[in-house]
Amino acid sequence: MVTNTQVWTAIVTPMQADGAVDYQSLQNLLKAQADAGCGVVLLGSTGEGIALDQSEQRELVRFVIKLDFNFPLLVGVGGFRLAEQLQWLEYCNQFSRIDGYLMVTPLYAKPGAKGQSAWFKALLDKANKPCMLYNVPSRTGVNLHYDVIKNLSSHPNLWALKEASGDIERFKQYQKTMPNLAIFSGEDGLMPQLGRLGARGLVSVVANIWPSEALLYVQKSLDGDIDTHTNNTWQLATSACFCASNPIPAKVWLHHKGVIASNTLRLPLDASDLRDITLLQQADNEVQQWFHMNKEGVSA
């Protein structure tokens, strides 16, 4: 189930106006993902995972695994305190409903290849599920070193990589370093290019808003069936979802459409930093029109 999933939606964490997790809105979002045929990444950076304390994270996991929705599930692992992440893995390991983990490069410290290798080895050793490493230097301040992939290439729990540096040459080098590693685009707008180069799929932000549409976009990217209209539509969608710090635009639009009850985020993120939703409105219109024209033959 994990290996066949083409779209993993890095799901937002809806919150009530007072900042508490809005579980009803979350359930609505997850049902839409299940209906579309997308996988879900819980408590990633888009889900504001590190803004939730440990008790909130545990409660969120317990809530999601009890839902009767059929989607593959990855849980985010990230921070800068190794002992806490090992405890988190020990907690999550007990749930068979969790299919794997997304493990981001350590935050803030900007470690070198040896530090990163030791960090990820400790996490991989603790995990009892397939693991996807996550390179996102715009958030962590450092790229995942190629030597980390090389050093850990034989680890049985290393399954995949989410590559979100925006650097196509880096994607190619990761492929060269470990040819059997499943590499997913972490950049919505680069899916057509990376699909041609052998990406297995997409870990997506835009799929929060357009899950079925994003799945069709990814399928077309993997098939090499991207025309100018398709490319322009999804470049616009991507720009709209990143016109302010992620996940502000996604939450603002989902609230605007009545999908979630509030656009509340945890500080230092604030929805008021996005004052104009014109680009999101335009993107929504374009995506809906594109999907109507192309949805014949879509498979979930």
Per-residue pLDDT, 4: 85
pLDDT for 1 equals: 63
Rounded Cα distance, 132 and 149, in Å: 11
Question: What is the value of pTM for the model shown?
Answer: 0.95
Q: Does domain 7-211 have CATH number 3.40.1260.10?
A: no
With beta carbons less than 8 A apart as the criterion, state whether 222 and 7 touch. no
Strand pairing report for 158-163 and 131-135: parallel
pLDDT tens over the chain, length 300 residues: 677 899 999 999 999 999 999 999 999 999 999 999 999 999 999 999 999 999 999 999 999 999 989 999 999 998 889 999 999 999 999 999 999 999 999 998 999 999 999 999 999 999 999 999 999 999 999 999 999 999 999 999 999 999 999 999 999 999 999 999 999 999 999 999 999 999 999 999 999 999 999 999 999 999 999 999 999 999 999 999 999 999 999 999 999 999 999 999 999 999 999 999 999 999 999 999 999 999 875 444
Of 142, 134, 148, nearest in space to 46 by CA: 134
Give 144's Cβ-side CA count (13 Å radius): 28
Rounded to whole angstroms, the Cα distance separating 178 from 176 reads 6
Residues annotated as part of the active site: 134, 162
How far is the C-alpha of 248 from the C-alpha of 272, rounded, in Å? 9
- Between CA 279 and CA 138 the distance in angstroms is 23
Strand 182-185 relative to strand 158-163, pairing: parallel
- Contact indicator for 245, 273 with CB cutoff of 8 Å: yes
Using CA atoms, how far residue 255 sits from 11, 21, 177, 212, 244, in Å, is 14, 14, 42, 19, 16
